[in-house]
Amino acid sequence: MALKYKFERAEKIISKLSPDELRMLEKICKEIQVAEEKLFKAAEEILKRCEDVCEGLCCRNTQLDSIISLWDFIYLLTLENSMRGRISECLQEENIFYSSDCIFLENGTGPCLFPPAARPEVCITTFCSDEKTIKKEINLVKLKFIKLSWFILLRKPRALKHFLSGIFKGKE
């Protein structure tokens, strides 16, 4: 799946939510945001080392489609709806066939376009150095993203059926 498809799918999913479902989604996304804030605070020293030593190497020569998921776009569009236009503009730069630098870097070099406490799951839970001291915070962010995915998948049985059929398609 290309990022543009995931982004459009996220927009469609959000637009079809009932007011109650939307409130629940916002609650889950705020839980993720709080978990990300805790992770950023706990990882301050590690992030400083990332900036000073690696200089954002993890954002270079990447295959973004394997890093940013549908759930990330649902999360970002729910929390940072004002960024919809900027995200859409960046998606015009997507290269789906080759690795490239992250399209969500300001001016192509950084810093990240997304606010510190509203970033895609893999971007915020992956570090190039020892992460044992922040394992609890990383796991909490991941757990909250799992909660988001299950909320979306289980809100309608046909959505779950579609998801599961995609997983097992071609495996016989």
Instruction: DSSP for 104-127, please give it.
Output: TBGGGTSSBSS-TTS--HHHHH--
Nearest to 13 by CA among 76, 94, 63: 76
The amino acid occupying position 54 is C
Q: Cis peptide before 19, with omega less than 30 degrees from 0?
A: no
Please state the domain count of the chain: 1
pLDDT in tens, 125-171: 887 667 788 999 999 999 999 999 999 988 766 656 666 666 666 54
Give pTM, 2 decimals.
Answer: 0.84
Nearest to 25 by CA among 85, 81, 64, 68: 81
Domain that holds residue 154: 3-168
pLDDT in tens, 59-117: 777 788 888 999 999 999 999 888 999 999 989 988 777 778 888 888 777 788 888 88
